[in-house]
Amino acid sequence: MPASGPLVGDADKLAFMVKEGCGAIVTKTISTKAPRIPKPCIYGDREFVMNSELWSEHPLQTWVEAFLPAFQKTKDRPLIVSVGYSREDMEILIPALDPFADAFEVSTHYVGTDLSVIQATVRTIRNHTKKPIYMKISPHLPDPEGFAKAIVAGGANGVVAVNSLGPTLKIDLARRQIVYGNESGFVWTSGPSIKNLALATVYKIKKAMPSLTVIGTGGIAKAEDVLEFLLAGADACQMLSAALLKGKNLYSKIIGDLPAALAKYGFASIEEVKRAGLSNPVSYEPFFPILAPEKCTKCELCVRVCPYFALTLKDRITVDESKCFSCGLCISKCPTGALSR
């Protein structure tokens, strides 16, 4: 499904996600007041997006009177309405949006790190709806497991992990100035570069609370990423930033690529991936990289990056076992797969 953000900011964009084949639709975060958004507000690099874009630029009234009724006319899949941010906001937002929502996603980006405040926010939402509530965790929260336990105690049904990373800073070196930032200078970072952080958060939460629904997001850019999130414990997945970097039709591409990815890694279905789980074969035994000479192009990247000065190129790549620390960097960096364990 799409993650909350600029690509799901009105009725036409929600309809686009339906055409792309997303299994559920998520709205842009709706709040009680209009945001003041600096321009420009979205920066795209190769592996990340930085943004100061905030929540929906459209007021609650427009969503309730125009966008959501328009979506309802042809609705054929679940709609998750994203809301934020404070307990007081929820008193207004949830009653107004409940008739349209199949579930609520609640951003905690600007609520702080006090779990008692977050739990009280969940209780307020629960007082106004019987629909499922998924609380979206921000990476700056120090205790993902504690977050999950607190929101469940408040009445939530699951977690969306993770929101964008921040605050972060974008600098224009030539102009010696901060760009794309808010009044404080900061932006939020998302996209493929935060995938490993998101995977770790999903894994931590699912290990602590196996029965909790976890929606994984943060860094998905291809079908294999979806499978990784499911193996880590996600029950479903969201994506947004990679579509900003690679194009809006990335949703249908990933969906189309999933069958081949499943087959490649030996899975018969998505459910089988979710049941598989992850092993963790930690070893403290030393090993030395093995060279497949027919794959080696003698580019010497392994020699240049080795932090232990253990590799040299003679007639072929040679390992000095007295220096090798078995760190594995050379194996991971070899562009042709010529080095292995």
Pick from 23, 37, 104, 36: nearest CA to 68: 104
Query: Do residue 201 and residue 111 come from a single domain?
Result: yes
Q: What's the domain range around 132?
A: 6-276
Among left, alpha and beta (phi > 0; psi -120 to 50; other), residue 300 is: left
The answer to whether residue 283 sits within a structural domain is no
Beta pairing class for 177-178 and 171-172: antiparallel
Please state whether the predicted TM-score (pTM) of the whole model is above 0.85.
Answer: yes
Q: What value does the mean pLDDT of the chain take? A: 97
Q: Is 290 exposed, middle or buried (0-12, 13-18, 19+ CB in 10 A)?
A: exposed
Beta pairing class for 103-107 and 186-190: unpaired
Integer Cα distance of 185 and 308 in angstroms: 40
190 three-class SS: strand
Query: Do residue 139 and residue 208 come from a single domain?
Result: yes
Residue 185 has pLDDT above 90, yes or no: yes
Query: Do residue 66 and residue 159 come from a single domain?
Result: yes
The residue out of 276, 301, 326 marking a domain boundary is 276
| Per-residue model confidence (pLDDT) at position 52 | 96
197 three-class SS: helix
Query: Do residue 135 and residue 249 come from a single domain?
Result: yes
Query: Do residue 168 and residue 29 come from a single domain?
Result: yes
pLDDT tens, 34-53? 999 999 999 999 999 999 99
pLDDT tens, 91-136? 999 999 999 999 999 999 888 889 999 999 999 999 999 999 999 9
Assigned token pair, 245: 């970097």
pLDDT tens, 206-255? 999 999 999 999 999 999 999 999 999 999 999 999 999 999 999 999 99
DSSP string, 113-140: S-HHHHHHHHHHHHHH--S-EEEEEPTT
The DSSP letter of residue 65 is I
Q: How many domains does the chain have?
A: 2
Stretch 326-338: mean pLDDT, rounded? 98
Residue 140 has pLDDT above 90, yes or no: no
Query: Do residue 131 and residue 230 come from a single domain?
Result: yes
Query: Do residue 72 and residue 143 come from a single domain?
Result: yes
Query: Do residue 253 and residue 295 come from a single domain?
Result: no
Integer Cα distance of 236 and 213 in angstroms: 9
The answer to whether residue 70 sits within a structural domain is yes
| Per-residue model confidence (pLDDT) at position 58 | 97
Residue 262 has pLDDT above 90, yes or no: yes
The answer to whether residue 285 sits within a structural domain is no
| Per-residue model confidence (pLDDT) at position 109 | 86
> Which CATH number characterizes residue 117's domain?
3.20.20.70
Residue 301 has pLDDT above 90, yes or no: yes
Integer Cα distance of 120 and 134 in angstroms: 14
pLDDT tens, 61-96? 999 999 999 999 999 999 999 999 999 999 999 999
Stretch 182-199: mean pLDDT, rounded? 96
Residue 5 has pLDDT above 90, yes or no: yes
